């Protein structure tokens, strides 16, 4: 079919299904594995790949100079993510492996391992069932550019690479105080992290090779190699300062490894902005629509337009407007559905606000197939809302809007004729706030992946947070 004369009409259910089930990423991952392994039977290989269901298990590399804390961070990540920690030592010490026995004998004799042998040990370990199911975290490997290339050739590609950095003077001082528990492998420090249990204190030993001269030589070797390693991981690399408390380093690393990388998958934003009256939803929706071409869908405005256009929906809505009572959800949903079904919403995406306001309306929206893929809650305290709304005024002569604090009228004459809208009265604002927060907890529970933002700051700062949440993938939640 010629798309220029007869454009393809893709049903909205298809891209939505593909997005929710990550079909694009799934196909991309399978294609990558096919090209890496080049199996004789591609169909059977893909079936086995799907059965493994491990496209999102941790595959992490933690690098850093001596005494940067990379082993501690790798161990903590391994425990938190329930993944497998792989070090040069435990690869060599692996039981029931002829290759590991050969590597151990070689290491005892020459105090180093050939790159090819190290990569073979890694490949053997990563093909075991627990690494396939729970992923792996590499501590301090690769050490050289040659190892990087050999690892990549074997298809052992990490998803996240963390590099710890600190001044050499700090690292040398740290290294001099390092102590190791020979039973658990835990690392302690005479100044920064001394254990409280006397039993542990008494069995700690000083590791070999931590003198100032030896540490300086290791740092020199590290700096020579790391500059050739980093260019191999341009899009998956996170540099973290190690010159801060270890817990802070760990949480920065954990946040990064739980973040999905942006993919090339087609993405049509369907954004929902929730928040009390006066929280800035309309402004944020307008900014998103302007910058990203989304359709700004304000539910209240749709109802007014339906009445003004005297459409069939408007005839249903008008009696409720005349009596100043709430329009039933079923009618609101009909008006909203008619807008969201239009081609511009399907192609460009939309940003919705003023609906849903409670979990029943959210369920109704979901049942009709209009589920947002990004939800933001704008939290603003009551005092700020009152300041924003109760000081608003309108000039009945010109229709111009003013704010007594942020945009005062230019003359006393204009100020004397300003009027306040009944909906901006303090009692009405407090009532609207109370109604929203009665339903907010249930609504947040319904939208479990919603992002809560502080709306009580500069609107363009709020927009930057919303923009980041729209264009970046949602973080994975570890159970």
* CATH number of the domain where residue 282 is located: 3.40.50.300
Instruction: Name the percent of the chain lying above pLDDT 70.
Output: 96
Q: Are residues 149 and 274 in the same domain?
A: no
In a domain, 107, yes or no: yes
Q: How many domains does the chain have?
A: 2
CA angle 72, 73, 79 (to 5 degrees): 90
**Structural domain range at position 355:** 270-296+347-390+425-471
Q: Are residues 201 and 234 in the same domain?
A: yes
Choosing from 257, 283, 306, the residue where a domain stops is 257
H/E run at residue 255: helix 246-257
In a domain, 33, yes or no: no
Q: Are residues 136 and 276 in the same domain?
A: no
Q: What is the pLDDT of residues 300-309, one digit of tens each?
A: 899 999 888 8
pLDDT average, residue stretch 235-245: 92
Q: What is the pLDDT of residues 151-207, one digit of tens each?
A: 988 888 899 999 999 999 988 888 888 888 888 878 888 877 788 888 888 888 888
Q: Are residues 434 and 460 in the same domain?
A: yes
Q: Are residues 134 and 232 in the same domain?
A: yes
pLDDT score at 5: 52
Q: Looking at the whole model, is its pTM more than 0.85?
A: no
Q: Are residues 282 and 355 in the same domain?
A: yes
Cβ-Cβ contacts under 8 Å for 168 (sequence gap 6 or more): 65, 216, 219
Q: Are residues 142 and 171 in the same domain?
A: yes
Choosing from 257, 286, 305, the residue where a domain stops is 257
pLDDT score at 8: 54
Q: Are residues 277 and 185 in the same domain?
A: no
Q: Cα separation of 197 and 266, whole Å?
A: 55
Q: Are residues 121 and 152 in the same domain?
A: yes
In a domain, 403, yes or no: no
In a domain, 178, yes or no: yes
In a domain, 105, yes or no: yes
In a domain, 194, yes or no: yes
Q: Average model confidence (pLDDT) for the chain?
A: 88
Q: Are residues 280 and 218 in the same domain?
A: no
Cβ-Cβ contacts under 8 Å for 43 (sequence gap 6 or more): none
* Structure token pair of residue 177: 């105080």
Q: Are residues 122 and 155 in the same domain?
A: yes
Q: Are residues 223 and 138 in the same domain?
A: yes
In a domain, 101, yes or no: yes
């Amino acid at each position: 079919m010629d798309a220029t004369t007869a454009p393809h009409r893709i049903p909205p259910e298809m891209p939505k299904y593909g997005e929710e089930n990550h079909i694009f990423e799934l196909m991309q991952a399978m294609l990558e594995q096919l090209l890496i392994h080049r199996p004789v039977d591609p169909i059977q290989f893909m079936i086995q790949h799907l059965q493994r269901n491990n496209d999102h298990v941790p595959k992490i590399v933690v690098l850093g100079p001596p005494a940067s804390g990379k082993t501690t961070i790798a161990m903590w990540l391994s425990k938190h993510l329930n993944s497998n920690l792989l070090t040069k030592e435990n690869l060599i010490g692996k039981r029931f492996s002829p290759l590991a026995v050969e590597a151990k004998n070689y290491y005892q004799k020459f105090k180093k391992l050939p790159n090819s042998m190290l990569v073979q040990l890694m490949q053997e370990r990563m093909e075991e069932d627990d690494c396939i199911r729970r992923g792996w975290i590499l501590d301090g490997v690769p050490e050289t550019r040659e190892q990087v290339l050999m690892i990549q050739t074997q298809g052992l590609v990490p998803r996240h690479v963390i590099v710890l950095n600190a001044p050499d003077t700090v690292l040398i001082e740290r290294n001099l105080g390092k102590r190791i528990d020979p039973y658990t492998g835990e690392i302690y420090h005479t100044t920064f992290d001394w254990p409280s249990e006397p039993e542990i204190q008494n069995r700690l030993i000083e590791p070999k090779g931590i003198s100032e001269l030896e540490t300086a030589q290791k740092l020199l070797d590290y700096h020579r190699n790391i500059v050739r390693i980093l260019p191999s991981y341009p899009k998956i690399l996170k540099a973290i300062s190690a010159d801060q408390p270890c817990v802070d380093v760990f949480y920065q690393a954990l946040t990064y490894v739980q973040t999905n990388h942006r993919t090339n998958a087609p993405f049509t934003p369907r954004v929902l902005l929730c928040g009390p009256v006066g929280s800035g939803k309309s402004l944020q929706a307008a900014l998103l629509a302007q910058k990203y071409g989304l359709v700004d869908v304000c539910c209240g405005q749709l109802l007014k337009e339906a009445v003004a256009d005297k459409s069939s929906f408007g005839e249903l809505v008008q009696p409720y407007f005349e009596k100043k009572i709430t329009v039933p959800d079923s009618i609101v949903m009909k008006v909203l559905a008619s807008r969201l079904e239009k081609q511009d919403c399907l192609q460009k995406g939309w940003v919705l606000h003023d609906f849903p306001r409670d979990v029943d309306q959210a369920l109704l929206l979901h049942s009709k197939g209009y589920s947002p893929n990004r939800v933001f809650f704008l939290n603003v305290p009551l005092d700020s809302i009152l300041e924003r709304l109760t000081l608003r005024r309108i000039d009945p002569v010109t229709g111009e809007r003013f704010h007594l604090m942020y945009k005062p009228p230019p003359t006393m004459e204009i100020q004397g004729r300003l009027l306040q809208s009944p909906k901006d009265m303090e009692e009405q604002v407090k009532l609207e706030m109370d109604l929203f927060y009665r339903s907010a907890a249930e609504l947040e529970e319904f939208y479990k992946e919603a992002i809560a933002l502080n709306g009580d700051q500069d609107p363009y700062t709020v927009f930057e947070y919303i923009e980041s949440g729209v264009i970046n993938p949602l973080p994975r939640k570890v159970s």
